[in-house]
Amino acid sequence: MTLPAPDYSSKVFAALRRNCATEWNAYIDHAFVRGMGDGSLPKASFLHYLIQDYVYLRHYSRAWAMGVVKANTLEEMRLSAATVNGLINIEMPLHIKICARENIDETQLFNAEEELASLSYTRYVLDAGLSGDFLDLLVAVVPCALGYGEIGKRLAASQTSSTPYQEWIDTYNGEPFQALCADVGKLLDDAVANRIGADFENSPRWQQLNRTFAMATKLEAGFWQMGLEGGQA
């Protein structure tokens, strides 16, 4: 069975992913991900991940807010602002709801000690924004958004049994998140068109954009690994 690898109609995303295929597969097909799909992931690992992912989302929202600061077009501004809002008012509350069921309240979440895997990833992304322009920032935030979309679709497509992580799968495979992925894919292609042009793969910037994308992808895999190990302590 061939699993979905959606391009979200983005030529730039397709090229970036192709150029770091090894890192990308280590991310989207990580043992943690497979464990969510077949239900074998220990609950403690999942909770460990979820708490760190809340901390992650806090800083990931800050990165999209940097996108508002750095936007050149109305579209860049609007989608970045909507994403900040969606992350803080939709995705973070989902984490709060699941954690509440496990008696972990929001203050605990907000003050959870940040692990290295989370800290390094988000600060790297924020610095991609600080040191570069909107596009440099965007290629650093894309692996999280579009990768989660791809993982959601893959897990849904390959599922053969029930799993306690169905709610997670449904969230990222669901229409609202998939629609966001399509919007981000379009934003990426437009951002490249507005700054580099059609022949982007021959631009002097292309190598650096690939490096940033690959590093963010590697840090995503490290995040799953942290979740896996955290629950086994």
Rounded to the nearest whole angstrom, what is the least distance from the CB of residue 117 to a second copy in the complex? 8
Cα-flanking dihedrals φ and ψ of residue 12, to 5°? -70, -45
Distance CA 105, CA 40 (A): 26
Beta-carbon count within 10 A of 177 CB: 19
Segment 191 to 230, residues that bind a second copy, using CB under 8 A: 193-197, 203-205, 208, 222
Among the residue ranges 10-18, 40-48, 69-77, 158-166, the one whose residues contact a second copy (CB under 8 A): 69-77
Distance CA 200, CA 232 (A): 44
Distance CA 145, CA 152 (A): 11
Which string of x and - marks every residue 118-157 that binds a second copy (by CB under 8 A)? -xx--xx-xx--xxxxx-x---------------------
Cβ-contact 223, 125 below 8 angstroms: no
Cβ-contact 183, 107 below 8 angstroms: no
Rounded to the nearest whole angstrom, what is the least distance from the CB of residue 186 to a second copy in the complex? 17
Distance CA 51, CA 99 (A): 8
**Closer by beta carbon to a second copy, 10 or else 83:** 83
Beta-carbon count within 10 A of 166 CB: 15
Segment 98 to 117, residues that bind a second copy, using CB under 8 A: 106, 110, 116
Rounded to the nearest whole angstrom, what is the least distance from the CB of residue 4 to a second copy in the complex? 30
94 binds a second copy (CB under 8 A): no
Q: Which are the contacts of 11, defined by CB distance < 8 A and separation ≥ 6?
A: 189
**Closer by beta carbon to a second copy, 38 or else 127:** 127
Segment 3 to 62, residues that bind a second copy, using CB under 8 A: 58, 61-62
Residues within the interface to a second copy (CB under 8 A):
58, 61-62, 65-72, 74, 77-78, 80-82, 84-85, 88-89, 106, 110, 116, 119-120, 123-124, 126-127, 130-134, 136, 193-197, 203-205, 208, 222
